Chains A and B, each alone.
Chain A
Amino acid sequence: MNISSQNIGFAVLFLLGLILAFSPVDEMNVSKVADKELLLSQLHSQSNYVEPEEVADWIINKEPGLQIVDIRTGEDFAKYHIPGAVHIPLERLLDKASLEMLNSDGTIVLASNGNTKASQAWLLLKEKGYDDVYALHGGMNYWVEIFSAPKKPQAPYTDDEIFRYQFRVAAGPVMMGKQVVPQQQTTVTPRKTIKPRRRAAKKKVDEGC
């Protein structure tokens, strides 16, 4: 190996590092403002939503960094809410105190009564630079519907439908905030139903090694 060419290489590396140390490289990073067109296309393709079963699965598995934000009124929140959810009404979503409560590193799931308000909140947070945000598909109304009294699928059902039903029955009591021995549903949980279906949700499976 040629020693001098090696030293030239080291000198180049050193110089490049030195340039970086004095360059505003982080100013480029903090412009986290999301690409508007990308947001619109995500809204259009509905990839801003996360399915209730998936959220239930995250809760059961104690997904690290998961934060569920309930944006309904205080009255609704007091009646029932997803276990572990924090309450931030939509009108106060962008207050300083509220933003401090939000977990900017983890996954945020926005829950409203239906879809509309959660999607609006989703857009606001995305524009604020929060990366891993989802709106709960169907909102709390749908959540209550599927977890408090899941409908048994009609006769010619597919495997997927029956798995989905079993999962809802099993996870239901916990998702409605009732106390149940936790072991029970972890063994019953049919994993097949909650396989991540979306590109965005795929991030949950480890992307690294």
Chain B
Amino acid sequence: MKEKPFWSPYAGGIGLGITLLLAFVFMGRGLGASGAMMRFTTWVVDVFAHDHVMANPYFAKYAEHPFSNWLVFEIIGVMIGGFLSGMLAGRNKWRTGRGPNITKHKRWLLAFIGGAIMGFGARLSRGCTSGLALTGGATLAVGGWVFMFAVFGAAFATAYFVRKQWI
């Protein structure tokens, strides 16, 4: 099946905005992603070193069973929704997103490094682009807006140094 084109970004934005609005109307809270990952990380560590998790105040905070948490259910939904959408548009196939001037393996390494940096930053700021920038932005929370401009500022500044990866 040929891959269908993406929908207009404004349509996507309106769809996401309505989803977020429904989250506020039904639950009184926004969406998120990194909280669920933190829970999953803690769960993995917990399997190997339970006492270690209990001794660390930060891990202990997340040491419930991962399926008991709202965000975890939401992320499972994201997986289903993303998969369905990709399937309907014929976009589900194995590939590596990269620019023409970088090898697959270098891209994997950079993805891992970037992920590690982001994971650290997301925990320090108590949220990621969905949980803090999007949700906090829509509720006009001060932290959300400060965070959003910090993210874009740092990303634009870093982009020059990794340009070989993308363009």
* Chain A residues engaging chain B, CB cutoff 8 angstroms: 1, 6, 9, 61, 186-187, 190-192, 195, 205-209
> Which of B55, B57, B63, B130 meets A209, CB within 8 Å?
B130
Q: Are B128 and A209 in contact (CB under 8 A)?
A: yes
> Which of A187, A192, A209 meets B122, CB within 8 Å?
A209
Q: How far is the CA of A192 from the CA of B35 in the complex (A)?
A: 20
Q: Are B136 and A208 in contact (CB under 8 A)?
A: yes
* Contact pattern, B 32-60, Cβ under 8 Å of A = 1, otherwise 0: 11110000000000000000001101001
Chain B residues with CB under 8 Å of A191's CB are 54, 57, 60, 63
Main secondary structure of the interface of B (DSSP, over half): helix
Question: 10 nearest interchain CB pairs?
Answer: A209-B131, A209-B127, A209-B32, A191-B60, A208-B131, A208-B127, A209-B35, A209-B34, A191-B54, A209-B128
> Which of B54, B126, B128 meets A190, CB within 8 Å?
B54
Q: Are A206 and B35 in contact (CB under 8 A)?
A: yes
With both chains docked as a complex, state the minimum distance between the C-beta of A199 and any C-beta of chain B, in angstroms: 12
A-B pairs under 8 A by CB, number: 43
Q: How far is the CA of A184 from the CA of B60 in the complex (A)?
A: 17
Q: Are B126 and A206 in contact (CB under 8 A)?
A: yes
With both chains docked as a complex, state the minimum distance between the C-beta of A126 and any C-beta of chain B, in angstroms: 17
> Which of B60, B62, B63, B132 meets A208, CB within 8 Å?
B132
- Complex: chain A residue closest to B70, CB-CB: A207
With both chains docked as a complex, state the minimum distance between the C-beta of A9 and any C-beta of chain B, in angstroms: 6
Chain B residues with CB under 8 Å of A209's CB are 32-35, 71, 122, 126-128, 130-132, 135
With both chains docked as a complex, state the minimum distance between the C-beta of A38 and any C-beta of chain B, in angstroms: 13
- Complex: chain A residue closest to B125, CB-CB: A209
Q: Are B64 and A195 in contact (CB under 8 A)?
A: yes
> Which of B29, B32, B57, B130 meets A186, CB within 8 Å?
B57
Q: Are B57 and A192 in contact (CB under 8 A)?
A: no
CB of B161 within 8 A of chain A? no
Q: How far is the CA of A191 from the CA of B131 in the complex (A)?
A: 26
> Which of A9, A61, A208 meets B10, CB within 8 Å?
A9
Chain B residues with CB under 8 Å of A187's CB are 55
CB of B66 within 8 A of chain A? no
Chain A residues with CB under 8 Å of B60's CB are 191
With both chains docked as a complex, state the minimum distance between the C-beta of B107 and any C-beta of chain A, in angstroms: 26
10 extra interface residue pairs, beta carbon distance < 8 Å, beyond A190-B54, A191-B60, A209-B35: A1-B8, A191-B54, A195-B64, A206-B35, A207-B29, A208-B30, A208-B32, A208-B35, A209-B32, A209-B126
Chain A residues with CB under 8 Å of B34's CB are 209
Chain A residues with CB under 8 Å of B55's CB are 187
| Most chain B C-beta atoms within 10 Å of own C-beta, residue among A186, A195, A206 | A206
- Complex: chain A residue closest to B27, CB-CB: A207
CB of B104 within 8 A of chain A? no
Chain A residues with CB under 8 Å of B128's CB are 209
Q: How far is the CA of A175 from the CA of B75 in the complex (A)?
A: 40
Q: How far is the CA of A205 from the CA of B60 in the complex (A)?
A: 11
Chain A residues with CB under 8 Å of B71's CB are 209
With both chains docked as a complex, state the minimum distance between the C-beta of A17 and any C-beta of chain B, in angstroms: 13
With both chains docked as a complex, state the minimum distance between the C-beta of B66 and any C-beta of chain A, in angstroms: 13
CB of B61 within 8 A of chain A? yes
With both chains docked as a complex, state the minimum distance between the C-beta of A37 and any C-beta of chain B, in angstroms: 17
- Complex: chain B residue closest to A209, CB-CB: B131
Q: Are A192 and B131 in contact (CB under 8 A)?
A: no
Chain B residues with CB under 8 Å of A205's CB are 61-62
